[in-house]
Structure 1
Amino acid sequence: METSTGIDAKQRLSAKLLKAVLMAACVLGISVSCVQIFFDARQFSKGIDSEAWQMLAMIREPSTQAAYKMEPTTGEEILFGLMEHQSVHIAAIKIPNEPELAVIKRDLSKSGYRYFSDYLFEPVRIYRIPLYKKEPVLEHYGELFLAIDTAHHGQEFIQRSLIVMVSGIFRAIAMAFLLYLIYSLILTKPLNRLIRNLYQINPDAPGPHKLSMPNSRQNNELSIWVRTANQLLESIERNLNLRQKAEAQIMRLSQYDYLTRLPNRRTLQKHLQNLINKPGSSDGNIAILCLGLDDFKSLNAHFNFNAAEHELIKIADRLRNHIGNRGFIGKLGEDQFAIILSKITQPYAAAEMAQALLKQLATPITVNDEKITINGTVGITLFPDDGQQVDNLLQQAEFAMIMAKSRSQNRYQFYIASVDTEIRQRKKLERDLHEALKHHELSLVYQPQIDFKTSRMVGAEALLRWKHPEKGLISPEMFIPMAEDNLEIIPIGDWVLESACQQLHEWHKTEFHDLRIAVNLSAIQLRDKNIVDRIKYLLEKYQIPPRLLEIEVTETSIMEDIELSSEQLNNIKATGITLAMDDFGTGYSSLSYLKQFPFDKLKIDKSFVEGLPGNKENTVIVEAIIQLGRSFGIKVIAEGIENREQETHLIKSGCTEGQGYFYSKPLADQEFAEFLRNWKNKSTSSRKRTFPNEPDVDNH
């Protein structure tokens, strides 16, 4: 049953206290009684011995006379007097080498307490004293024998012990009840009154209610507790309105993105669910567009955080203004937006909206007085054709966007069932990549690098290849981003660096003593604090002159952490190796990096080499990069050279080195060595080129 306080009677503090006090009292009473009984047992044992010795002392003298005179009758009369004592079991006067002079005997007592008394005091105790006469000479006549039955004394002791035990327990219980009553009056009853008062107060709206102060207890612990509880109730009442306002604000923030003020994913899901549940929703399609910004992380890393957020707000406002009342726009993630279009009669309407949104993004945005163009990719899914569950529809739109972005940028793609299959295949490919290094599926190929001035092959770029046991060669553009995402690039990058150094060492042992090798370093490797020690170790292990090892890093890799990248690159440069910036011109504010980082070489991205010399935009960019390198005294190498016209234009513009399919495709180690021998054996005159207006890079 439960009391008025709502607490089960067995669980009440007073009931538990009573149990504890009674238990403790019983244990204490029994313990004290046992101690007293123990001491009583010792006293009873001594009493038995004392009584026996007194009886022997009392009849010793007449027993000696009877033994001396050899009078059995006198001896029996003397011993018969002992039989008045109920505890005497056997009494005898013994003569040396003769039968007993006199013996009296009584059966052992049949007392019900005998089992306990025998255990405590032994069943029979034996006492002996010699009988002798001292004058005129010491002469021994025999001995006086006495056997005491302890049952009579044991019965008295046990009865007394029971009284002691029972009285001790009752005294302890009485004291326990007295303490319990005192505790109840002082603490339990006031607490029960406070509990009843608390039950009458609503903690969400305590209002003017307060706990009553216990009588005559203004300065004890209970009064302090009551005052503290009343202060807490006042605080709850005082902050109730503030909490309600905060909850309203939290509710609003939970439905909208704090930065762009666009509805968030949860609100998008609710809006889409309402559209699906709306009567007549099956009359027309609902299109869900997922728009993801391309390379927004690079912009976020390049500019300060506030500037990047400001530009994201500009993009959100631009999209919201363009959509207007034609759809519902919300924010899915850091750089992803979702647009819901209802009453779409034909899928092409969603495609037109996607194209219009991409066109809106194509308009440059000014960031810190610099115009930046941000592209996007759109994935489209349709209700009810592609599904009817809200979460699945949003997920399918994201999948379509991801797949569109993996193929190219600034495009849109409709969701198809094969997208799920392709996503699963990508996940399987990621798992296979984890085992690729262990199964020796990775290898290096080498693409020659030509010095334009001497027409000599001065180096090679080590390029990673993955030959999948089932799918064959996998494009690096596919598996390198995978490796960077799941951090597999760390062991793979270490393997590439060591394998390239080992191969260069093998070439140096032959006739290619001055050959240089270039190795790409990922952004994750660049952040590794042990990378400098790793490079030093490999240079020493494979006896490579530092100038013949070239480390290439991309602009995007150093933008992720400018401060750490600067420190790491300066430490790497201190080892004496060559540093090159790969894909130069594809990022933001490359000029600032040339001033901040210790690069020895710029690598013109192949996207700028394409179309030379006919493409005027690429021509201007390439010539500007070469001129920039000359201004900073930095060599320039171009990749992706595919024909003589591109080579000639680059030479005339002052480019220092080049690589590409015009010279050779990437080759395996043995093929590369053979190619290098053939190149070296060709006549120098046949490979010599003219360099009109040749710049002297070293003088700048």
Structure 2
Amino acid sequence: MFTSSAPPGYIELSGHHSMPFVFLSIFLACLASYTALSLNERVRKNSFFHQSIWLILASLAMGFGIWSMHFIGMSAFSLPVAMRYNHVWTFVSIVPAILASFMAFSLASRPKQSFLSFTLAGIAMGIGIASMHYTGMAAMVMDAVYRYDVWLFLVSIAIAIVVSFVALFVFSNLKRLMEKRVIKIVTALLMGMAVSSMHYTGMAAMTFYTSPEFIIEEHAGHTDMTMLIIPVAIGMFFLLTTLLFSSTMDRYIDYKISYFDGLTRLPNRRQFEKMLNKSSDSRSLAIWNFHNLEKINNGYGYSFGDRVIQHIACELRESDLDFTDLYRIEGNRFAFLVQGVDLDIFRQAMATIALKWKGPLLLEEKWIELSSVCAISFVKGADTHHQLYANALAVLEHPLIKYEHDIILYDSTVHTFSFQQEILNGLASAMKEDELFLVYQPKIFADTHRLNGFEALIRWRHPVHGMMSPEIFIPILEQNHRIDDVTDWLIDRAARQISQWEKSGVPDQKIAVNIPGEYITSARLIAALKKTIDHYQIDPKQLELEITETSVVQSVESAIRAIRLFREQGFSVALDDFGTGVSSLSFLRQMPITTLKIDKSFVDRVPLSQKDSAILHAIITLGQSLNLQIVIEGVETAEQVRFLVTTARSLTIQGYYYAKPMTPDELAEWRVHFSTVLEGDFLLS
């Protein structure tokens, strides 16, 4: 097999490749890689199919793609002898490719990975790919014998192993980059070229010999191979494009379910909040509230009520308002969001719509009357988007509001007190009934991908207004001096969560809690902390107190004394939103803090902006020179992570790149998929 001498009476054959078929084989390998990458994305997403189904489909796409590349590549090589395939062995040669691909994707989906596991899997997958190639070669039946050059033979296997190792690394560690189409295409091209190089290196290792009596005209055998290549190529193309289409459709369905209302097909509240959070110089919001839909449901049934809602949505959609976007934000509420349009024009458009509801509505031979009101709010300034929605709610919740199809413009002298009073009156029951709850956002060491604790963030699931953003209710609580009560509640809930994790076998967890304004200098705070620590029997070092730079500036000496007291009690203290104050450098060296949190505003334009990158690097250097832990918040892109990792060591990253804020149940699922808690080995995608 590995001898270089020809059998007695045999002569060496000279063959050549058909370049169009060579390029076709490489194209299929690249297409298979792209399809497999796309299917692999669905393993990590919510989907109609179970994750294992996408794993199998990705494995089949990659396995069949590798096999078809080898089959066409072998068929593209022509010799002046008769040649055919053993169908059994040809089919069997597919199995190693599929199994090797399945192993790659299985490893990519595991929560815990190491260099050794990558190496072993790379070897196994490389041997699997090589086995497929050489099994396929053995399936060729011809009037010739072949010998292998041992060194090129070993090089081809080495290429397969190295390619497999690189593929596993790409799948496991660069998943977030795969969401960018250009990166995914480049990766697929590299993988396709790499797999092809293994095949053609293996072909170069072969030397063919035959008896002179078996030599035929070269084009005769090649014509037969062409008849095989074309249907195989067409079949594989349709198979891969069908699988690719399935992943595209699943992605589209996932998007429609997440961002559109199923009944009206309008963008839903999630899409509304996404658009609301985008910066804009001036915007107007109109919310239509239909008051008697529940009465219609009770009188005619929910099926008829759904048709009423669909009719309302249709009427709103057909109002010919090209300058605005329409959303269904709640069961009985629809919203128009517009920017850069004169308020009088917007108000007149809503008045025109109001005419549709003033008369009885005939629907399915039933006359019904709708009672509605439209609240309009208007704001200027990029940072006032939360106030836009809060003002509209204040109109809708005013106690004297009537549902007579009126168009009511927000008036701060009339509506603010009503909404604020409702928030304040509901605070006590919200804490008691768990309408207020905490979500936890992980903080991750950038260079080791290990967990470095969580930040506790407060949320309010209001019985009337639904899920309210903290940007809406926190300012109200601060203005009315109720934020201290909520802070005590937050500390208690965070400590209780640490205790629950301890009891469930997840020890040594650390949670950061935000301490507002002047409360950091209050004797009540240290008493609340001591009481909570004693009650739940947790270590003070497991609670980190985050104080804002602006609150410290208000009373520097008192804040420094309070921080020293916290440190003496065993708590760590973080300075939050660093860089947003006015005298940071003058007192930073005096404060006995342990952690410096750099504000998101310094990260947003990194690394595209050289100035922002230089400023961020300087702040990090300053903090580390003072022996402070550095936490970068608001990190959302892979480019930002790469910049931070190359800028300094021992940084902690917090942001949507790694994880969103999650409830304890969501966090438990996150741990299963992205970390091994007990061993402390967090390797995140």
TM above 0.5, yes or no, is no
The alignment's TM-score, normalised by the length of structure 2, stands at 0.39
The alignment's TM-score, normalised by the length of structure 1, stands at 0.38
Pair member with larger Rg: 1
